[in-house]
Amino acid sequence: MKYKHTQIGYLMLVVTLAVAVLFAWAYITASAEPPSVDSGTNLLVTAVMVLIILILASFTSLQVIVDEKYLRIRFGWGVFKKKFLLDDIASAKTVKNHWYYGWGIRGWLWPEAPQQNNSCIPHSSSRHLCLKKFLSYLDSSQIFLNKSDAKLRTNCTTYFVAEPRMWIYNISGFDAVEIKMKNGKLYRVGTDEPEKLEQVILQSIK
């Protein structure tokens, strides 16, 4: 094993404990009331509360492992996990996530800086467009002048909307390592050791 590190999400840990205390208080309060005839509903509510706590607890830590063959990530006790074949990784670099990316597991639809592609955007300019502006740009009559261009719009819109621009896995902070796969897909793995993880990955894919 080349690398193994576990990051603790202290904020999520506090949130999980707070929710657990709140649910425990609600359960104790409800238990003190006269027995309800609708015991099935009470059982369902209890099961939902336990499930919520288990899900929250799953995101209190993120373990990253790099071995001889894979880059592995695991949230909590392993309910949510993923692995990347090192031979499929083209590059890795340290990055800073924006605050609005949030935490957890997410597919991010909007590109940070869409690349110019004349086959996708006819009459393209040098502007960088977010998804909303991009679609507005495509709807402009200045761009699509005939029916054949409409097909290009459909293909390009599908490219931006049908699949996430990248997948993000993190639990705390804004530091991450972005890995680009040989098939073009992007993933960001949150870590409090970004430089070290980057170097380990780069050395492993040489």
In order, the DSSP letters of 110-174 are: S-SSPPP-TTTSTT--S----HHHHHHHHHSTTT--SHHHHHHHHHHHHHHHTS-SEEEEESSSS
Whether 30 is in a domain gets the answer yes
Write down the pLDDT at residue 42: 76
50 found inside a domain: yes
- pLDDT surpassing 70 at residue 130: no
Residue 19 lies in a domain: yes
168 is a domain residue? no
What is the pLDDT at residue 31? 75
CA-to-CA separations, 35 to 30, 31, 168, 200, in angstroms, rounded: 9, 8, 46, 59
What is the distance, to the nearest Å, from the Cα of residue 182 to the centroid of all Cα atoms in its chain?
A: 19
Lowest mean pLDDT among 25-34, 79-88, 117-126, 160-169: 117-126
pLDDT at 129 over 70: no
Could you read off the pLDDT of 74-101 as tens digits, one per residue? 999 888 999 999 999 999 999 999 999 9
pLDDT at 15: 94
Tell me the one-letter amino acid at 29.
T
Look at residue 199 and tell me if it is in a domain: no
Is the overall model pTM greater than 0.75, yes or no? no
Number of domains in the chain: 1
Does residue 139 fall inside a structural domain? no
Name residue, tokens 């393209």.
124
Let me know if residue 159 belongs to a domain.
no
Q: What is the pLDDT of residue 36?
A: 57
Query: What range does the domain containing 32 cover?
Result: 3-58
- For residue 131, being part of any structural domain is answered with no
Of the candidates 112, 129, 110, 106, which has an alpha carbon nearest to the alpha carbon of residue 187? 106
